[in-house]
Amino acid sequence: MDASIISIGNELLTGQTVNTNAAWIASRLNLAGFAVREIQVVGDEESEILRAISSAAEHASLVLITGGLGPTRDDITKHALCQYFNCSLQEDPAVLKDIRGFFRRRGLEITELNRRQALLPDKATALRNPGGTAPGLWFRQNNTTFIAMPGVPFEMKEMMDHQVIPALEKQGGKQFIIHKTILTQGIGESTLAELIAVWESSLPETIQLAYLPSPGIVRLRLTAQGDREQVLKRLIDQKVEELHLIIPEFIWGYDDDTLEGITGEILKQHGLRLGTAESCTGGYIAHRITSIPGSSEWFNGCIAAYANLAKEKLLNVSPELIRNHGAVSREVAEAMATGAQKALNCHYAIGISGIAGPGGGTKEKPVGTVYISVAGPSSVISRKYQFGDNRERNIIRAGNAALALLKEKTESDLRIAK
């Protein structure tokens, strides 16, 4: 079934807010068997909202709307919906009770502004909002379902997962959409495309391929759509297996895998612990790792040694080494890795030193030069990388390269140990 998403909010049209909601909703709808055909973003203006809803209703059987349900005056979605469905606002006692409870739990008094949140279009069914004060709204007209939710991401997500998706799944009549994403690292988009051109031509019409490049990583997404789930799955599995025979060295994971998650699993399984010594990435790798729930089971910590003195004192990198080779050098990256291994008392440690930019480059070591070392229980592996001139991208690419090198090193150590 076809779905359409409408995101409402001036902040999305001025670029002050990135529309993460639409992407999240789309991925959830996909899992529930809805294909999103279109996303529209419009401002907090009644005529624009009405135009977007009418246009969506023309070709979608499900219209999901977020934003503009807040308590402040710039939020006008509820009024636009009354207009569209030709109904009026009425206080909903159950919702008012929810709102009172919300404030009571926080030891706060309910205000007039909050109370108005309980006014709902009388043709709508309310969706509870345990995380906030704006209820969701569910309408049904001419075989199309319209659902309006708050724009605050965590309120919307709670509402989608616990109310909207279960209700949609009950409606039934589901088509299957199967996605499989193959994650590659260490190869550019067009080189990859040529390596797998013959395989790509062999894909049946029911399977679509997309190339999704990002700093240091190219994702290959296969999509199959139809009404026989098992057939689609087998078809995709077979094609993924074939691909694995063509480019085994570049594939590191699938779907929502992350380099940090995969490597963490390997370490955890073998009772190994990790630490990082980060210079140019300044804590970015540790942040990615510690964003994973439970990472404390295998991650000991990070020393982001930005100043040379910190490298010397905390990581025991000798001042002579820095003087002779420069802070950005293979030798210093190795000393950082082995220093972190000791200081953080871990089996594996990443050492990383480079020039993220925009300043600090020289002719021999231009911006984007990065040395990465991984120290393991019995040996150290090091590699030099040459990234681009954008600081943000360089930090991300260095992070991906370091985690890929760590994965390579642990896997190779474990193979030898077998």
Contacts of its own copies in 347-376 (CB under 8 A) = 356-359
Pairwise CA distance, residues 227 & 177, whole Å: 8
| Cβ nearer to its own copies, comparing 122 with 254 | 254
Among 147, 395, 398, 402, binds its own copies (CB under 8 A): 395
**CA-wise closest residue to 6 among 107, 81, 90:** 81
Segment near its own copies (CB under 8 A); pick from 166-174, 264-272, 276-284, 406-414: 276-284
Site mask for its own copies (CB under 8 A), range 296-325, x = bound: x--xxxxxxxxx-xx--xx-----------
User: In what helix (H) or strand (E) does residue 253 lie, and over which residues does it extend?
Assistant: strand 251-254
Among the listed residues 375, 298, 299, 365, the one whose alpha carbon sits nearest the alpha carbon of residue 336:
375
Q: Could you tell me how many residues of this chain bind its own copies (CB under 8 A)?
A: 104
Near its own copies by CB under 8 A, which window of 81-89, 236-244, 277-285, 403-411?
277-285
Q: Characterise 135 by phi-psi region: left (phi > 0), alpha (psi -120 to 50), beta (else).
A: beta
Q: How does strand 62-66 pair with strand 2-8? A: parallel
- DSSP label of 124: P
Q: What residues from 52 to 71 belong to the interface with its own copies (CB under 8 A)?
A: 52, 55, 70-71
50 near its own copies (CB under 8 A)? no
CB of 292 to its own copies, least distance (A): 9
Q: Which of residues 208-267 bind its own copies (CB under 8 A)?
A: 208-213, 219, 221, 223
In the shown chain, the binding pattern of residues 144 to 173 toward its own copies, with x for contact by CB under 8 A and - for none, equals --------x-x-------------------
- The residue range among 12-20, 87-95, 118-126, 370-378 that interacts with its own copies, by the rule CB under 8 A, is 12-20
Q: Is 135 in the site for its own copies (CB under 8 A)?
A: no
Interaction between residue 194 and its own copies (CB under 8 A): yes
E strands, 61-143, are: 62-66, 89-91, 119-121, 125-127, 136-141
Residue whose CB is less far from its own copies, 63 or 123: 63
Q: Does 181 participate in binding its own copies (rule CB under 8 A)? A: yes
Site for its own copies (CB under 8 A): which residue of 1, 10, 225, 272? 10
Taking the complex as a whole, how short is the minimal distance between the CB of residue 386 and its own copies, in angstroms? 10
Helix ranges (DSSP H) in 196-254: 197-201, 229-246
Nearer to its own copies, 175 or 190 (CB): 190
Neighbours of 277 (CB within 10 A): 33
Q: Which of 80, 159, 168, 285 binds its own copies (CB under 8 A)?
A: 285
Q: Which residue has tokens 């190339």? A: 211
String marking each residue 13-32 x if it binds its own copies according to CB under 8 A? xxxxxxxx-xxxxxxx-x--
Task: Say whether residue 291 binds its own copies (CB under 8 A).
Answer: yes
If one counts every other C-beta atom within 10 angstroms of the C-beta of residue 325, the result is 15
| Dihedral sign from CA coordinates of 359, 361, 367, 372 | negative
- Choices 89-97, 122-130, 236-244, 291-299 (CB under 8 A): range interacting with its own copies: 291-299
Does residue 42 belong to the site contacting its own copies (CB under 8 A)?
yes
**Residue 275 CB-density burial (10 A; 0-12 exposed, 13-18 middle, 19+ buried):** buried
Task: Name the one range near its own copies by CB under 8 A: 77-85, 110-118, 233-241, 407-415.
Answer: 110-118
Q: Is 294 in the site for its own copies (CB under 8 A)?
A: yes
Cα–Cα nearest to 41, from 68, 1, 72: 68
| Residue selected from 161, 169, 265, 392 as contacting its own copies according to rule CB under 8 A | 392
Helix axes of 308-315 and 330-343: crossing angle, nearest 10 degrees:
50
Contact (CB, 8 A) for 136 and 149: yes
Q: Can you tell me the distance from the alpha carbon of 67 to that of 7, in angstroms, rounded to the nearest whole number?
A: 6
Q: By C-beta, is 163 or 308 nearer to its own copies?
A: 308
Q: Smallest distance from the beta carbon of 189 to its own copies, in angstroms?
A: 7
Residue 328, judged by CB atoms within 10 A of its CB (0-12, 13-18, 19+), counts as: buried
The number of residues in the chain equals: 418
Residue 202 lies near its own copies (rule: CB under 8 A)? no
Q: State yes or no: residue 38 binds its own copies (CB under 8 A).
A: yes
Give the one residue of 101, 113, 166, 238 binding its own copies; rule: CB under 8 A.
113
How far apart are alpha carbons 368 and 123 in whole angstroms? 58
* Closer CB to its own copies, 79 or 219, in the complex: 219
